Amino acid sequence: MIVDDSVALVSAESPTGRRASLIRVPDVIRTLCTLYDGVWGNAVAADGRITFGDHSRSDLARQILGALRAGTTDEVAARELTVSVRTYRRYVAEIMTLLDASSRFQAGVRAAELGLLGSSSPGVAQGPQSRTEG
């Protein structure tokens, strides 16, 4: 919480439990304000939840996002998902549209921001072999 751009109360989890700090250092408060403005400016409206459709389409979208994150080539990812390269690229384009992204990288960033990427995505190879093929 930032009060009058002069005092901030920051709370965070620590190994010993929740801790709070009262901050009065102007440079630190300006930095917190900048961070807050950036987060708020890029936030998604609460009703703006991203949905990919039914369960199977959502699962496919997660697998594609995992392939993009892993740097898997379109050819390898399409083969592993048993779809044509053209279909795979169409799915990627649809995901980019849903995420309002103009590049694959931006789609990955938006997916991470929205919590759409888990710690790992099963079903698509993520090792170095998928980066060097194709």
Are residues 18 and 61 both part of a single domain? no
71 belongs to a structural domain? yes
Indicate yes or no: pTM above 0.75: no
Are residues 12 and 78 both part of a single domain? no
pLDDT in the model for residue 60: 83
Identify the helix (H) or strand (E) that includes residue 132: helix 129-132
Distance between CA atoms of 83 and 90, rounded to whole angstroms? 11
- Cβ contact 64:91 at 8 Å: yes
Distance between CA atoms of 84 and 74, rounded to whole angstroms? 9
Are residues 90 and 33 both part of a single domain? no
Are residues 37 and 60 both part of a single domain? no
Return the half-sphere exposure (C-beta side, CA atoms, 13 A cut-off) of residue 59: 6
The pLDDT tens digits of the residues spanning 20-73 come to 888 899 899 889 888 888 888 776 665 555 666 555 677 888 888 888 888 889
Distance between CA atoms of 79 and 76, rounded to whole angstroms? 5
Distance between CA atoms of 126 and 119, rounded to whole angstroms? 12
Amino acid at 63: Q
Range of the domain at 26: 2-41
Are residues 76 and 126 both part of a single domain? yes
46 belongs to a structural domain? no
CATH number at residue 126: 1.10.10.10
Are residues 101 and 69 both part of a single domain? yes
- How many structural domains compose the chain? 2
Lookup: tokens for 48: 């703006």
Sign of the dihedral through C-alpha 14, 16, 20, 26: negative
The pLDDT tens digits of the residues spanning 113-124 come to 777 776 544 444
Lookup: tokens for 21: 């700090």
Are residues 80 and 116 both part of a single domain? yes
49 belongs to a structural domain? no
